[in-house]
Chain A
Amino acid sequence: MIFNNFQFLIIVLLSPLVQGIIKKLKALGQGRVGAGIFQPYLDLIRLFRKGMVISKTASRVFHAAPFVVFLSTLAACALVPVISANAEVFGLGDVIALFYTLALGRFFLVLAGLDAGTAFGGEGSSREAMVAILVEPMIMLAVFTAAVAGHSTSAAQLASNPHIYSSPAYVLAFCAFYVALIAETGRIPVDNPDTHLELTMIHEGMVLEYSGGYLALLEWAHWMKQMLLFTLAADLFFPFGIGMDPVRAFVLYSVKMAVLGAALALTETSRAKLRIFQLPSLLGGAFVLALLSIISVIALQR
């Protein structure tokens, strides 16, 4: 019981590792050696030890944002089953609540981008808002597909839905979800996580003024969100293994995370970043996939 309730700690503790693995795979794909897979942990420790430089223009929102972002991501992590589906963790909410809790964090992060009064922050904030607007309905439609087929919006219930592989709607919904995943985690072709160049950045633009412990919290929250979305993809679309005995479930879960991470690294190395105003065609295409998935799930139900 206690274990069920605290399975979110897996995401909290292992999310830097997932990030490290993705970076390593990406480096290998680009023909570099790359840093070790534990580098993100070292980064966090380093950042926590550093002092902070804070803009004189910044208000309290700037100080509150790292905490709100971290805590809302933490709360969202508590809403998904990780390796055991027989308890909805604390019964706090469903998948819709999860995305709105994440949106709370984003709301404050975007505000923080505007707070320092620079063009960089505003640029990142404005673009992030645009991407969020396009991604949100897509994610919701993909979730609706799962909810209609699984007769629930609770992640735990959906993860224990056995009929999942019989429906082509899931394939379409997963494709849409994957595009949303790329956009939400700020990766190529939507955003470039490795640069501070003003032409390409979205997420990095918003956090440009942050340093030290605040930056560590924001980065950690960003990695948690990435692993959370991986977990959700696993719960909604590949729920095999959830609810087995903890060791086997954990092994299967690790495999799923590794595969999704590898897929993301492959996408990043094989694609170029899109121009910002070409994004709507990518995201719009994914939206149509999500729409088709919901239509097919309705049609297949009868």
Chain B
Amino acid sequence: MIFISGLCLFALATGLAAVAPERSLRYTYLLMFVGAVFAGAGSVLAVYAPPTAICVSSIIEYIPVSFAAGPLSGFFGLVLSAIAAPVSLYSAGYCPQGRTKAVLYGLFVLSLYALFYSADAVSFIIAWEAMSIFSYFLVISHTEDQESGRAGLVYSVMTHAGTALILAAFFAAYAVTGRFDFDGMRVGLAGSPEWIRSVIFCLSFLGFGMKAAIIPLHLWLPRAHPAAPSNVSALMSGIMVKAGIYGMLLMGFYVLGANVAWWGMVILVTGIICSVLGVLYVLMEHDIKRLLAYSSVENIGIILLGMGASALFASAGMRALAGLALAAAMFHVLNHAMFKGLLFMGAGAVHKATHTRNMEEMGGLLKRMPYTGLFFLIGCVSISALPPFNGFSSEWLTFQSLILGSQTPRIYMELATLLGGAALALTGGLAAASFIKAFGIPFLGQPRSAKAENADESNRPMILAMGIAAAACLALGLFPSGVLGLISKIPLSGLDQVSKAGVYPGMATRALLSPVNVAGGFAQIQPAGILAFMLAGLAALLVFLKIFWRRPKTVYRDSWDCGMQALTPRMQYTATAFSKPVRVVFKNIYMPKKEVSTVYALKPFFVSSMAYKSQIRPFFEEFLYRPALKAFDKLAMSAKRLQSGSLQLYLGYMLLTLLAMLVLWA
């Protein structure tokens, strides 16, 4: 009931955005904020309540379109609301003009709600297409941007290729079971042979993988996400890629049960590739929004690591551990939505203030935008998985489930999970370096351009929205037990075992502060305790300093410049320079190209100017997509030979076709 009223409020706000006067658009965004809060509260209730139908109707006879609230829907509804609420508030300050964008934004969020709450394949596909189309319009809505049209094209083509695969999966399931509703498919497919189930799994993994941007199907993401306005980028990265994860969970885990070992291996290996390669590309990006977009690929990889481990455990019959790994993945879904939303909001604020997305032109923004800077820093710390923020809690659980992979009966499973753990550790280090760069270069040091010099703090709704998201990142990190309790109510493989089998004994009491405990004492953490300890340490330290530190006066001087003339901003480390060592170490992956061109006043001693250009080669574009496109072009060109333009020849084709048909039918 709360959910429906929230949704109605949101729909009302969207409608109002279409008719309200332009200057009151910000109030419709505020109404959307309220609607999303209510829908979120309703979604939490939906997790605890038994599944209930919301509405059933039929567009065409015999094909019902039905929506239902169940625990899995409720959880994703919660994730969506948790990010849509602050982003709506943010939009009120970020883009108070632009009626079309406001309406499209509202419709986009509504289609996502419809997607997560749809109970059968037909309504699912309708919502899926609506989501893709609205987001496509939002991607190309940035008219000032030259690239956005092309980005929109790539996005549109790839997302529809994905939809085709998903449709194929649904039709295959329908052909076997005769049912379009997911519960019916689940029952019908339970007894069918493994090859059929594997075909459906592969189709849906690839189809949903396109939306989740698994490597090498990720090509659209770093183009489309930055091209959209930042409030939409926040939603696209925060929740729309998770629609792909939702689809995998729905088809792979709910309908098919995800208990075949090689499926788990496929998911796990994909997770390893996505997390490591994704984050390697994050480190090389200097466009602040593209950087964040690539980092979504990395985080999808981390989620897939948990899901893959879960499927491996399930195939070995270890249900409690399957639940643990899946809980880690789902927790990371929520956490990534929060911090990625926060970071995109921060990047949008920076873009709005400096009118550039290039980090090399920024610098010193923390002094000019203190609140934006603080919240962006919290986002960076969270995404780097540092305690006591939320990224740490879910990555820690993923680590635990991967290490516990050593208890699986097969040696290849043990190796794969432990290598997954090593990949996660590498990812953690690279992510930390990337987000040190993402915060350090724009916000610290001296401004590198006049744009950065003249930047101003964001307006109040934007700051408030980022503050809410930052507080959520901290709260989720400090009290993981609460969310894990929620997740354990979802009837997916082994999640119900999570509390029963004592994977988290702490959760039984539901005490928020209880430690997260894995596999009966294998390990435990208490992030809130770590923070409390640090605060106690701070108190002790301050007392110590009061006594021992004599506090002679502090003086403020220029930075150390080796006794030369004053430092200029151009002498600072740039983003390119910061990531140079990594570019050298991983040169086999990046294949960097560098050009140095020197202009001489008098050769060879007097140089008048030098230019240094360095770029990395996009591996998948150059070695996978471009050859494929070329081959396709060639095929098309050879087909063109048939079209000579001569009328007689065309009549001849007709005659031949007619003859062939007569022969065939005779």
Bound CA span A61–B374, Å: 10
Asked whether A72 and B534 contact (CB < 8 A) given A55-B558, A120-B560, A123-B573, the answer is yes
Asked whether any CB of chain A lies closer than 8 Å to the CB of B42, the reply is no
- Residues of B within 8 Å of A114, CB to CB, are 436, 440-441, 444-445, 573, 578
Asked whether A56 and B585 contact (CB < 8 A) given A75-B533, A101-B530, the answer is no
* A57 & B422 in contact (Cβ 8 Å cutoff): no
In the complex, given contacts A57-B364, A59-B444, A298-B415, what are 12 additional A-B residue pairs having Cβ atoms less than 8 angstroms apart?
A: A56-B557, A61-B443, A74-B533, A93-B524, A100-B396, A119-B573, A129-B433, A136-B428, A140-B425, A141-B418, A144-B421, A144-B422
* B559 & A57 in contact (Cβ 8 Å cutoff): yes
Asked whether any CB of chain A lies closer than 8 Å to the CB of B525, the reply is yes
A82 to chain B, nearest CB (A): 16
B415-429 near A? 1/0 per residue, CB < 8 Å: 100100111111011
Q: Which residue of A lies closest to B385 (CB)?
A: A100
- A interface residues, how many (CB within 8 angstroms): 84
Asked whether A117 and B396 contact (CB < 8 A) given A126-B577, A126-B578, A151-B522, the answer is no
Bound CA span A71–B387, Å: 12
* B445 & A116 in contact (Cβ 8 Å cutoff): yes
* A125 & B436 in contact (Cβ 8 Å cutoff): yes
Main secondary structure of the interface of A (DSSP, over half): helix
A residues whose Cβ falls under 8 Å from a Cβ of B: 45, 48-61, 67, 70-72, 74-75, 78, 88, 90-94, 96-97, 100-101, 103-104, 106-107, 110-111, 114-123, 125-127, 129-130, 132-137, 139-141, 144, 147-148, 151-154, 157, 208-209, 212-213, 276-277, 280, 291, 294-295, 298-299, 301-302
- B interface residues, how many (CB within 8 angstroms): 83
Q: Which residue of A lies closest to B411 (CB)?
A: A298
* A96 & B399 in contact (Cβ 8 Å cutoff): yes
Bound CA span A70–B585, Å: 30
- Residues of B within 8 Å of A55, CB to CB, are 556-560
Give 7 closest A-B pairs by Cβ, nearest first: A122-B573, A140-B425, A117-B445, A130-B581, A51-B552, A136-B429, A114-B440
- Residues of B within 8 Å of A208, CB to CB, are 560
- Residues of A within 8 Å of B526, CB to CB, are 90-93
Q: Which residue of A lies closest to B573 (CB)?
A: A122
Asked whether A103 and B554 contact (CB < 8 A) given A119-B572, A130-B582, the answer is no
10 contacts between A and B (CB under 8 A): A45-B548, A56-B557, A97-B525, A103-B428, A134-B585, A137-B422, A147-B403, A151-B522, A154-B521, A298-B418
Asked whether A129 and B436 contact (CB < 8 A) given A74-B537, A114-B441, the answer is yes
* A126 & B422 in contact (Cβ 8 Å cutoff): no
Q: Which residue of B lies closest to A120 (CB)?
A: B560
Asked whether A94 and B441 contact (CB < 8 A) given A75-B530, A213-B549, the answer is no
Q: Which residue of A lies closest to B551 (CB)?
A: A213
Bound CA span A201–B411, Å: 43
Asked whether any CB of chain A lies closer than 8 Å to the CB of B567, the reply is yes
* A75 & B534 in contact (Cβ 8 Å cutoff): yes
Q: Which of A48, A140, A299, A301 contacts B421 (CB 8 A)?
A: A140
Asked whether any CB of chain A lies closer than 8 Å to the CB of B494, the reply is no
B residues whose Cβ falls under 8 Å from a Cβ of A: 363-364, 366-367, 370, 377, 381, 384-387, 392, 396, 399-400, 403, 406, 411, 414-415, 418, 421-426, 428-430, 432-433, 436, 439-441, 443-446, 515, 521-527, 529-530, 533-534, 537-538, 541, 545, 548-561, 567, 569, 571-573, 577-582, 584-585
- Residues of A within 8 Å of B551, CB to CB, are 213
Bound CA span A208–B370, Å: 25
Bound CA span A209–B140, Å: 46
Asked whether A48 and B548 contact (CB < 8 A) given A111-B439, A125-B440, A140-B421, the answer is yes
- Residues of A within 8 Å of B577, CB to CB, are 122, 126
Bound CA span A126–B418, Å: 29
Q: Which of B414, B529, B549 contacts A48 (CB 8 A)?
A: B549
Q: Which residue of A lies closest to B542 (CB)?
A: A67
Bound CA span A88–B517, Å: 13
* A71 & B534 in contact (Cβ 8 Å cutoff): yes
- Residues of A within 8 Å of B424, CB to CB, are 140
Asked whether A152 and B366 contact (CB < 8 A) given A71-B534, A133-B430, A137-B426, the answer is no
* B403 & A59 in contact (Cβ 8 Å cutoff): no
* B523 & A152 in contact (Cβ 8 Å cutoff): yes
A80 to chain B, nearest CB (A): 13
- Residues of A within 8 Å of B415, CB to CB, are 295, 298
- Residues of A within 8 Å of B403, CB to CB, are 144, 147-148, 153
* B525 & A94 in contact (Cβ 8 Å cutoff): yes
* A53 & B426 in contact (Cβ 8 Å cutoff): no
Asked whether A152 and B522 contact (CB < 8 A) given A59-B366, A117-B445, A118-B572, the answer is yes
Q: Which residue of B lies closest to A70 (CB)?
A: B541
Q: Which residue of A lies closest to B531 (CB)?
A: A75
Asked whether A74 and B578 contact (CB < 8 A) given A56-B557, A152-B523, A298-B418, the answer is no
Q: Which residue of A lies closest to B569 (CB)?
A: A117
Bound CA span A107–B155, Å: 35
B384 to chain A, nearest CB (A): 6
Q: Which residue of B lies closest to A123 (CB)?
A: B573
Q: Which of A50, A91, A120, A126 contacts B524 (CB 8 A)?
A: A91
Asked whether A126 and B580 contact (CB < 8 A) given A152-B522, A153-B522, the answer is yes
A154 to chain B, nearest CB (A): 5
Q: Which residue of A lies closest to B584 (CB)?
A: A277
- Residues of A within 8 Å of B581, CB to CB, are 126-127, 129-130, 276-277
* A100 & B446 in contact (Cβ 8 Å cutoff): no
* A119 & B386 in contact (Cβ 8 Å cutoff): no
Asked whether A100 and B529 contact (CB < 8 A) given A133-B433, A153-B522, A209-B559, the answer is no
Asked whether A71 and B541 contact (CB < 8 A) given A103-B432, A110-B436, the answer is yes
A300 to chain B, nearest CB (A): 12
B124 to chain A, nearest CB (A): 38
* A294 & B530 in contact (Cβ 8 Å cutoff): no
Bound CA span A285–B323, Å: 36
Asked whether A136 and B425 contact (CB < 8 A) given A92-B530, A153-B400, the answer is yes
Q: Which of B384, B399, B425, B444 contacts A117 (CB 8 A)?
A: B444
* B552 & A118 in contact (Cβ 8 Å cutoff): no
- Residues of A within 8 Å of B444, CB to CB, are 59, 61, 111, 114-115, 117
Bound CA span A51–B555, Å: 8
Which of B441, B548, B557, B578 counts the most chain A CB atoms within 10 A?
B578
* B559 & A118 in contact (Cβ 8 Å cutoff): yes
Bound CA span A246–B385, Å: 36
Q: Which residue of B lies closest to A139 (CB)?
A: B425
Bound CA span A122–B556, Å: 20
* A111 & B436 in contact (Cβ 8 Å cutoff): yes
Q: Which residue of A lies closest to B517 (CB)?
A: A91
Bound CA span A298–B406, Å: 7
Q: Which of B386, B560, B582 contacts A129 (CB 8 A)?
A: B582
Bound CA span A157–B415, Å: 23
* B573 & A90 in contact (Cβ 8 Å cutoff): no
* A154 & B523 in contact (Cβ 8 Å cutoff): yes
B535 to chain A, nearest CB (A): 8
Bound CA span A71–B572, Å: 29
B91 to chain A, nearest CB (A): 29
Bound CA span A50–B384, Å: 35
- Residues of A within 8 Å of B436, CB to CB, are 107, 110-111, 114, 125, 129
- Residues of A within 8 Å of B579, CB to CB, are 126
* B445 & A115 in contact (Cβ 8 Å cutoff): yes
Q: Which residue of A lies closest to B562 (CB)?
A: A120
* B426 & A75 in contact (Cβ 8 Å cutoff): no
* B572 & A100 in contact (Cβ 8 Å cutoff): no
- Residues of B within 8 Å of A48, CB to CB, are 545, 548-550
* A54 & B556 in contact (Cβ 8 Å cutoff): yes
Bound CA span A91–B569, Å: 47
Asked whether A130 and B585 contact (CB < 8 A) given A125-B440, A148-B403, the answer is yes
Bound CA span A299–B414, Å: 10
* B558 & A56 in contact (Cβ 8 Å cutoff): yes
* B555 & A122 in contact (Cβ 8 Å cutoff): no
* B567 & A122 in contact (Cβ 8 Å cutoff): no
